[in-house]
Amino acid sequence: MKFMLLQDYGGVENESVGPMSTWTPEEIEAHIAYQVELNAELAERGELVDAQGLTAPEQAKFVVHDGSGAPVITDGPFPEGKELLAGYRIVDVDSLERALEIAARGSAAPGPGGEAIRQRIEVREVMGIPGGDA
């Protein structure tokens, strides 16, 4: 079963954590090292399909088209920027429980003072073959 674990920019539930621009270089490094290590562990277990971070919401563009004429393209910054996707992991695991476990690990990534930032992770199953027959 494949799951997509999504996190958006505003999903940090630890209220004492400010934006990353206020962290020390060591804190940022520790945060990145934690994510890299988690990815390496998932790869070693044969579970990692993909993991990517996305550019900042300021660089996002919205496209709407009615099929004729010029598409409408909206540039940022957006007031709802915090709701935009920051990054994702796609994992291929044996159960929903394992996907939730990985999400929990991602959520507890360290922030200022090494404290868990409690990032909210959205867990969504990727559509696969119809299950539950056997």
Partner 1 sequence: MMRRGEIEGLLRDAAPQALAVLARRCGDFADAEDAIQEAMLEASSQWPARGVPESPVGWLVHVASRRLTDRLRGDSARRRREQLAADQQQQPALGADEISARDDSLALIFMCCHPALTSASAIALTLRAVGGLSTAEIAAAFLVPEATMAQRISRAKQTIKAAGATFAMPVGEEREQRLRPVLRVLYLIFNEGYLSSRGEQLGRPDLAAEAIRLTRALRAALPNDPEVSGLLALMLLNEARRLARTGTGGSLISLADQDRSLWDRELIEEGVELIASCWGRGAIGEYQLQAAIAAAHDQSAGYAETDWREILALYGLLERLSKSPMVGLNRAIAAAMVDGPEAGLALLEPLADSLADHHRLHATRAHLLELAGDQPAAIEEFERAARGTNSLPEQRYLQTQAARLRAARHEDL
Site of interaction with partner 1 (CB under 8 A): 1-2, 43-50, 92, 94, 125, 127-134
In the complex, what is the shortest distance from the CB of residue 32 to partner 1, in angstroms, rounded to a whole number?
21
> To the nearest 10°, the Cα dihedral for 31, 36, 37, 43?
150
The CA-based diameter of the chain, rounded to the nearest angstrom, is 53
The SS3 of residue 113 is helix
Length of the chain: 134
The SS3 of residue 101 is helix
In the complex, what is the shortest distance from the CB of residue 12 to partner 1, in angstroms, rounded to a whole number?
29
79 vs 128, which CB is nearer to partner 1? 128
In the complex, what is the shortest distance from the CB of residue 26 to partner 1, in angstroms, rounded to a whole number?
31
Rounded distance, CA 28 to CA 38, Å? Answer: 16
In the complex, what is the shortest distance from the CB of residue 106 to partner 1, in angstroms, rounded to a whole number?
18
31 vs 88, which CB is nearer to partner 1? 88
26 vs 133, which CB is nearer to partner 1? 133
**Two tokens at 3?**
């799951």
